[in-house]
């Protein structure tokens, strides 16, 4: 099978695989060669795939969509982090989420300030 993982800015993974394990809202599933065509909404979690060399790669993803059509499997997600080791992947994801949480906190603060300025200007116009 040919796996392509797409994130908004690039083709994140483009490789040949023998097995894919992912998780949808109703549970985990496994795709092997010659599996029927398939579409699934993925939940945030770990997608695991096996290369032709029998090496397992783990991919932490945000929610996404998986489409299997013939020998091609496409995964579209907002974010992805890949590693051969689950422990390293866990640390990378935790670090990335801390950075994202801080950015989100700063963004919410800036948005609140912006909303306050807009409300004051509307009050000035109304008076």
Q: Based on the fold, state whether residues 102 and 44 are members of the same structural domain.
A: no
54 and 12 within one domain: yes
Do residues 95 and 109 share a domain?
yes
**CATH at 21:** 2.60.15.10
Q: Which residue has the higher pLDDT, 20 or 79?
A: 20
Q: What is the pLDDT of residues 16-73, one digit of tens each?
A: 999 999 999 999 999 999 999 999 999 988 899 999 999 999 999 888 999 999 999 9
The length of the chain in residues reads 127
User: pLDDT at position 98, please?
Assistant: 64
Full 3-state SS string of 48-115: EEEECCCCEEEEEECCEEEEEECCEEEEEECCEEEECCHHHHHHHHHHHHHHHHHHHHHHHHHHHHHH
Question: Do 78 and 94 belong to one domain?
Answer: no
Q: How many domains is the chain partitioned into structurally?
A: 2
Neighbours of 17 (CB within 10 A): 19
pTM given for the model: 0.72
Percent of the chain with pLDDT over 90: 53
Q: Place 123 in a pLDDT band, splitting at 50, 70 and 90.
A: confident
Indicate the pLDDT class of residue 100, thresholds 50, 70 and 90.
Answer: low
DSSP annotation of 34: T
Helix (H, G, I), strand (E, B) or coil at 24: strand
Please give the mean pLDDT across all residues of the chain: 88
**Residue 35 belongs to what domain range?**
2-83
Residue indicated by tokens 């990378």: 92
Within this chain, do residues 65 and 99 fall inside the same structural domain, yes or no? no
106: pLDDT strictly greater than 80:
no
The predicted structure's pLDDT at residue 121: 79
């Amino acid at each position: 099978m040919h796996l392509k993982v797409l994130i908004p800015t690039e083709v994140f993974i483009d490789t040949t695989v023998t097995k894919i394990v992912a998780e949808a809202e109703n549970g985990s599933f496994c795709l092997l060669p010659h599996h029927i065509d398939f579409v699934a909404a993925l939940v945030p979690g770990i997608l695991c795939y096996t290369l032709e060399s029998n090496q397992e790669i783990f991919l932490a993803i945000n929610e996404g969509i998986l489409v299997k059509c013939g020998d091609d499997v496409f995964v579209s997600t907002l974010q992805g982090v890949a590693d051969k080791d689950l422990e390293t992947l866990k640390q990378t994801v935790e670090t990335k989420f801390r950075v994202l949480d801080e950015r989100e906190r700063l963004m919410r603060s800036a948005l609140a300030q912006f909303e306050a300025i807009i409300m004051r200007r509307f009050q000035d116009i109304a008076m």
